[in-house]
């Protein structure tokens, strides 16, 4: 008989039935844990996408409301400007106060010379 065809050759050992089933169990457990982890990951990803979608919708609504408010305020500013423009000639033609007195500056130096009464208790 040839040396390589000997059935008692111990250079390659097949795993024993006990270790094979242990490896199979570990493999199945690892796959199950991986399946559960992947499922959780997909669920988190879906929840995050849903959350971002809702946030996007809310921001779009807020943006539309702000644009509407800007439009209204712009129209109001135009109206008030036209009222002021039509009123100014009446004020200056009647010899009324100069624009500086009609519209006093808002900075603090303007108010420094105004006398404020002080009361004693």
Can you list the alpha helix ranges (DSSP code H) found in 94-110?
99-102
Instruction: Provide CB contacts within 8 A for 102, sequence distance 6+.
Output: 91, 96
Residue 5 has pLDDT above 60, yes or no: no
User: Does the predicted TM-score (pTM) go above 0.75?
Assistant: no
**DSSP assigned state of 110:** G
Q: What is the pLDDT of residues 22-45, one digit of tens each?
A: 889 999 999 999 999 999 999 999
């Amino acid at each position: 008989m040839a040396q390589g065809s000997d059935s008692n050759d111990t250079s390659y050992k097949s795993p024993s039935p006990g270790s094979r089933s242990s490896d199979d169990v570990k493999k199945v457990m690892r796959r199950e844990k991986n399946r559960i982890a992947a499922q959780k990951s997909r669920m988190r990803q879906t929840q995050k996408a849903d959350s971002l979608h809702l946030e996007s919708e809310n921001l779009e609504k807020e943006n539309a409301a702000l644009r509407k408010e800007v439009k209204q305020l712009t129209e109001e500013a135009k109206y008030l400007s036209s009222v002021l423009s039509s009123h100014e000639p009446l004020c200056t033609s009647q010899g009324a106060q100069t624009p500086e007195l009609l519209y006093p500056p808002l900075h603090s130096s303007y108010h420094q010379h105004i006398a404020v009464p002080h009361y004693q208790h």
